[in-house]
A and B are shown apart, each in its own frame.
Chain A
Amino acid sequence: MKCKKIHKKIAAYQEGLLSVKESRELEKHLSVCSRCDKLSQRMSAASNSFEKQKITDFDPFFTTRVLAKADALENEKEGTLSFKHKLKPAFRSVLLAAAIFCGVVFGITLSDTGNAKYNREDYIKALGESHYLFEADYTLETMFLTENKEEQ
């Protein structure tokens, strides 16, 4: 068997997926070819190196760190709760101030609507001489007539 063929089969051989005949042929080649044999051994050793890298030691500081984080989580929760409690009275006073403001605005609006029944002419009549209020609205002719009327 040539080296190239062996290379294709080494992975399957190590997984025990080759037939007895194929395995024997491969083993025969490995016994005479040092290059393929070394490669096969290297691969087998590398595959097992993960198992040797395992974490097996108990770390007491790890537990301490996790517990500290859990405590911080609890404190954070409590902190959020107390913030809500603190916020509640403040929110109440803001709500009260807003209600007062709305009441005032509403009152003013209502009083304005009450006056709206009077039109512009009524104002002029009521004010008598105070047509100056609407001076800009009058034409020169109207102003002249008004002045004449005053003279008479």
Chain B
Amino acid sequence: MIEDQLVKKIKHKDREAFRMLVEQYQVRIRNTCFGFVRNKEDAEDVAQEVFIEVYRSIHKFREDAKLSTWIYRIAVNKSLNFIRSKKRSIWGLLFQNRKLENSAEVPEEIITEEAGPLEKMEKEEDLQLLQESLEALPENQKIAYVLHKIEELPYKEIANVMDVSLSSVESLIFRANKNMKSRLFKKMQKK
């Protein structure tokens, strides 16, 4: 179904059209949310909120923009709000640390069959360090980095989502990469 028709139908609360939209975007949005929150369960919850927000405020969507850009924008905002709300409470912080430990579990694809326990531990540690480096990035750099590195969006779409110029996106991604690597390196040296 063409995007315009889909949007019109959802505006008229067509359940089937909304189901199609969720199916079309769920992997991308779950992945984007995961890029920010770094925990699969939390990412699922945030992604659900994103689609509910889409359903609730589809009437606000101006059709001069791309639907995907609008949905990505909601996903970024919801994910950042989630992170902020967690950081606000001390209990949240403790919980986050616990979850971070869980989320630092290295997926099987990363560990080769030959990897021994020491190598596995090292990789888990590295992933944890990488997550810490990502969390330490300024918000704008983090958004650009996640959308580029994890969601692999083209620079132009990232510029639309963030409502900044193309050159700003280039600069943000450049700085984010540099900051990530130097932070990661410093942390690796310390450990």
Contacts of A58 in B (CB 8 A): 23, 26-27
Interface assignment of A47: CB less than 8 Å from any CB of chain B: yes
Residues of B in contact with A (beta carbons under 8 Å apart) = 13, 15, 18-19, 22-23, 26-27, 30-31, 34-35, 40, 43-44, 47-48, 51-52, 55-56, 106-107, 109-110, 122-123, 126-127, 129-130, 134, 149-150, 174, 177-178, 180-182, 184-185, 188-189
* 29 cross-chain CB contacts under 8 A: A14-B181, A15-B178, A43-B184, A43-B185, A45-B126, A46-B127, A46-B188, A47-B130, A47-B184, A49-B106, A49-B110, A50-B35, A50-B130, A50-B149, A53-B34, A54-B150, A55-B43, A58-B23, A59-B30, A62-B22, A62-B26, A63-B26, A66-B22, A66-B26, A66-B52, A67-B18, A69-B48, A70-B51, A70-B55
Looking at A15, A52, A54, A56, the one whose CB has the most chain B CB atoms below 10 A away is A54
Q: Is the CB of B51 within 8 A of A66?
A: yes
Interface assignment of A127: CB less than 8 Å from any CB of chain B: no
Q: Is the CB of B181 within 8 A of A49?
A: no
Q: Is the CB of B178 within 8 A of A11?
A: yes
Contacts of A73 in B (CB 8 A): 52, 55-56
Q: Is the CB of B23 within 8 A of A63?
A: yes
Residues of A in contact with B (beta carbons under 8 Å apart) = 7, 10-12, 14-15, 17, 39, 42-43, 45-47, 49-59, 62-63, 65-67, 69-71, 73-74
Q: Is the CB of A43 within 8 A of B106?
A: no
Q: Is the CB of B31 within 8 A of A54?
A: yes
Given A42-B122, A43-B181, are A53 and B188 also a contact pair (CB < 8 Å)?
Answer: no
**Least distance between B92 CB and chain A CB atoms (Å):** 23
Complex CA gap A71/B189 in Å reads 52
Contacts of B27 in A (CB 8 A): 55-58
**Least distance between B111 CB and chain A CB atoms (Å):** 10
**Least distance between B91 CB and chain A CB atoms (Å):** 26
Q: Is the CB of A52 within 8 A of B26?
A: no
Contacts of B122 in A (CB 8 A): 42
Q: Is the CB of A62 within 8 A of B56?
A: no
Contacts of B130 in A (CB 8 A): 46-47, 49-50
Complex CA gap A62/B23 in Å reads 9
Given A54-B31, A55-B40, A74-B13, are A49 and B150 also a contact pair (CB < 8 Å)?
Answer: no
Contacts of B47 in A (CB 8 A): 62
Q: Is the CB of A53 within 8 A of B149?
A: no
Complex CA gap A147/B140 in Å reads 101
**Least distance between B135 CB and chain A CB atoms (Å):** 13
